[in-house]
Chains A and B, each alone.
Chain A
Amino acid sequence: MAKASGQATSKKTSKSKMVAGNELQKWFNENQEHKDGRAVIMPEGFERLCEALEFDMDGIEPMVLLWQLNGVELGTVELEGWEKGLDEMGVRDLSGLKMAIENTVEAFKTNSELFKTFYRKMFDYLRQDKQKSITAEYAVAVLPVITSNMWVFEKFVEFLKANDDKIKTISRDQWQSLLALSRNLEPDMSNYSKDDAWPTMFDDFVDWAKA
């Protein structure tokens, strides 16, 4: 996080108050709506932000943006999360925000823990209301976007599409284990064992892939 001064003992102040003329704060004020008495950016506003940042709505950037801004649901960011997120990223304007997000996406390539946190949070964004699981449909739509070039995910999405009459939901455990699988599975799947602790859906996946 970029610091304005080199003072080792400087306390973290509420930067949102300091930066009254901050471009991002202005942006929030101009695009906010009110929901349940809270100031929020709603999906339409969120899309405008992505446009302003020149992010492709079908790409991974909007999702990383949502995550970094501590979004509460898809396309929805509350003021508190907004301020905290910008604070942690240390950005004050649109170009700074754009760069921060792009850096994060780049960092995913080398920082597996970072990606894991993002990937796990995505499950919560895909959940509807009080449901514990996500629909296979959503998984099929979102996985290619956030895991491009990871062959296990590609193959798994194909598997879901081929079995869309039988597989309707993905549980949190299956979602999380899928990432572990992608980091563990050999290209020829020879190191997969049904006696291991993988969710049983993966047994079917491997059988299907090998057939």
Chain B
Amino acid sequence: MALRWTQDLLSLYDIYDEFLRKSFSDVQNMRQTIHDAFIEVINSNSRAAELLSLFIDDSLKNGLKRKSEQEVEHLLDRSVLMFRFLQNKDAFEHYYKLHLAKRLLLGRSLSDDAEQSLVSKLKVECGSQFTFKLEGMFKDMQLSADLAQGFRDIRSSEPLDFDMNVSVLTPTFWPQMTPPMSEEDKREMGNVKPPPGPLCDSIESFAQFYLQQRSGRRLTWQYNMGNADIKLQFGSRTYELNVSTYQMFILMLFSAEDDVSMTTAEIQQQTHIPENVLARQLQSLACGKHRILTKSPMSREVSSTDRFTFNYNFKSAQYRIRLPVASAKTSVETEKEKSESMAAIGLERQYLVEAAIVRIMKARKQMMHEQLVSETINQLSTRFLPTPKMVKDTIGRLIDRDYLQRSPDDLRLYNYLA
């Protein structure tokens, strides 16, 4: 349904476009009228920024299959046009970063070229400041691939018998990908480590390799964002599972010996995965379509005394099975998630309005209220449209903090305070 909205919009535009060309020789002012109408319609939907990003996300993951190069270009151009009409461009950047991050880290993009092409088009629309972080994300992925090769080279004498792909991310480029959690949970999450064994050793080996050439840097492992393909072998059955890194750590606890039985609390203690995150991982392993673990009681809710055992009766017609955890999927936000996003975007906007006003006043030293408001709105309009009230509020705050003062002779005139 989320995709329908954007799809319908694009189809509608195609109709008007054809109409304009064929019947009106693409007269400029008629096209402008159509554009104005689209601008109004798009921005009347409060979720427009998110929906547009979701549409592009789906296109880059599935929709481009079986499309010719020309069709792909057309789709991307149209998406960028809709982006031009969008008022809340900063909200779009927020969602786009998030969706792009998931695509890159989980390897879901159909075409690297299409991804890069889209970002270049956005750059033409908005300037490099806008796409700076997106390009940073691509660079990180490229560097990570180079690092992986370098790591394989130095270990050529004793290669790993599994494929390990480490993505090294520069924090400033990447969005916040962990859900908000308490300080305690954050600390606990920082304690997560793979169970001792070859995996743990190779992770440490990689860290050493990386830090050797880059002293002064710090690596913080984000196991919550990884995924793994593991081979599950028991009795005569073999399956390939695609799971989250956390799920892999959990399953490794059960593979050490036969008939392992653990409660949620015990699993939590051993893995250090925060409780509510752990619950979702266990639900996906024990309560979904494919039950790798057996949970007792069999209810869907996970409590700390629930007991888990490996399901030796597990059977599936598929060889390769994906066990999705809710957070990995890219879908329309819940109301709660939306308000969190809006809060983050709102905070960023406040900061941008402040910075713009200070910049303008620093340059001009003195300005009338009306002018300051319109100049500020103007400067920020490429990212979002601040309301005059927002600007006025910010002026008030800046007066309080002694950046500006009202002129004693005219209350509508502001002076910059150096």
Contacts and interface: CB of A to CB of B under 8 A. Distances in A.
Interface of A: 132-133, 171-174, 176-177, 180, 194-197, 199-201, 203
Contacts of A199: 392, 396
Contact of A200 (B370, B389, B406, B411): B389
B393 A200 contact: yes
Contacts of A132: 400
A196 B388 CA distance: 10
A180 B370 CA distance: 18
Given A196-B369, A200-B393, A171 B412 contact: no
B396 A171 contact: yes
A184 to B, nearest CB: 9
A25 to B, nearest CB: 37
B411 A197 contact: yes
Contacts of A195: 370, 373, 388
Interface of B: 369-370, 373, 388-389, 392-393, 395-396, 399-400, 406, 411-412, 414
A19 B413 CA distance: 48
B396 A194 contact: no
A203 B412 CA distance: 15
B406 A173 contact: yes
Nearest to B399: A173
B409 to A, nearest CB: 12
B397 to A, nearest CB: 9
Contacts of B388: 194-195
A196 B412 contact: yes
A14 B395 CA distance: 46
A176 B407 CA distance: 12
A12 to B, nearest CB: 28
A39 B89 CA distance: 63
Contacts of A174: 396
B156 to A, nearest CB: 65
B369 A133 contact: no
Contacts of A200: 389, 392-393, 396
A195 B374 CA distance: 11
